[in-house]
């Protein structure tokens, strides 16, 4: 009897580990944490992101209770496309003015080029838990006509601790990682414009901003 229960629990914990799962992009409303910090600065966001994932043919794996890879997790839309869309939506919600076409961008725009180097989901199988994790890694390059050339690697992890390997738990782990990504990118941009207050502003506004900053630091 106990053996049968153990087998049944093992089957439940693996959450249909033999069937392929399709992950759909989250809607922005489910992953946003935006607050107005952009001040109308213009961001030229190059979309989609460059895709350099080590395993671009799939977005993750399922495992059974023996921690063996048993099925693929596929994305309905390549993640370099929908992550770029969510970043654009988040920047707009945070008060930045987002331009997607380089031909339409002003000379003052801060340009962001991103390369997706990892997007992968897989469960961490424990004795009594089955916890899907999602990893996102981005290389972001920020440049401007004024001479800025900055590069930074970002790494984000989402985790959904659970007893069962349900597909909803994989989705929640992915959403958690995406939320961390959006918060992290907006925070990094906010910090960048603190150091370079003229970024993304028209020349006249940028000059006023610089003059105000000088006035603030003068005794």
Confidence of residue 164 (pLDDT cuts 50, 70, 90): low
* CA–CA separation, 96 and 43 (whole Å): 7
Q: What mean pLDDT comes out for the span 134-157?
A: 97
* CA–CA separation, 196 and 199 (whole Å): 6
Asked whether 37 and 190 are in contact (CB, 8 A), the reply is yes
Q: Is the per-residue pLDDT at 212 higher than 90?
A: no
What pLDDT is stored for residue 162 in this prediction? 77
Percent of the chain predicted with pLDDT > 70? 83
Q: Is the per-residue pLDDT at 3 higher than 80?
A: no
What pLDDT is stored for residue 125 in this prediction? 85
| H or E stretch at 22 | strand 21-23
- Per-residue pLDDT of 41-79, as tens digits, reads 999 999 999 999 999 999 999 998 888 899 999 999 999
Confidence of residue 17 (pLDDT cuts 50, 70, 90): confident
What pLDDT is stored for residue 182 in this prediction? 98
3-state class of 72 per DSSP?
Answer: strand
Confidence of residue 1 (pLDDT cuts 50, 70, 90): very low
| Averaged confidence pLDDT in the chain | 87
Asked whether 204 and 59 are in contact (CB, 8 A), the reply is no
Confidence of residue 6 (pLDDT cuts 50, 70, 90): very low
Structural domains of the chain, ranges and CATH numbers in brackets: 38-217 (3.40.50.10610)
Q: Pairing state of beta strands 42-45 and 97-99?
A: parallel
What pLDDT is stored for residue 161 in this prediction? 84
Question: Residue 167 has which token pair?
Answer: 């597909």
The C-alpha angle 197, 202, 208, rounded to 5 degrees, equals 55
pTM over 0.75: yes
Q: Is the per-residue pLDDT at 30 higher than 50?
A: yes
Q: What letters, b where the CB count within 10 A reaches 16 and e where it falls short, cover 14-36?
A: bbebeeebebebbebeebbebee
Looking up tokens 């920020």 gives: 142
- Per-residue pLDDT of 108-123, as tens digits, reads 999 999 999 999 999 9
Asked whether 150 and 128 are in contact (CB, 8 A), the reply is no
């Amino acid at each position: 009897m106990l053996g049968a229960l153990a087998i049944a629990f093992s089957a439940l914990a693996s959450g249909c580990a033999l069937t392929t799962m399709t992950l759909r992009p989250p809607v922005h409303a489910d992953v946003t944490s935006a607050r107005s910090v952009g001040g109308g600065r213009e961001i030229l966001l190059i979309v989609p992101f460059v895709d350099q994932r080590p395993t671009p043919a799939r977005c993750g794996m399922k495992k059974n209770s023996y921690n063996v890879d048993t099925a693929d997790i596929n994305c309905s839309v390549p993640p370099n496309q929908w992550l770029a869309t969510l970043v654009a939506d988040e920047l707009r919600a945070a008060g930045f003015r987002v331009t997607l076409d380089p031909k339409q961008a002003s000379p003052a725009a801060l340009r962001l080029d991103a390369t997706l180097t990892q997007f992968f989901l897989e469960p961490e199988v424990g004795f009594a838990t089955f916890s899907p994790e999602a990893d996102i890694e981005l290389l972001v390059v920020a440049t401007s006509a004024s001479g800025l050339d900055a590069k930074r690697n970002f790494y984000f992890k989402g985790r959904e601790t659970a007893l069962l390997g349900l597909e909803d738990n994989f989705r929640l782990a992915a959403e958690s990682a995406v939320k961390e990504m959006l918060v992290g990118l907006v925070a990094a941009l906010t910090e960048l414009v603190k150091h370079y207050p003229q970024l993304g502003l028209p020349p006249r506004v940028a000059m006023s901003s610089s003059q105000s900053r000088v006035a603030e630091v003068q005794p």
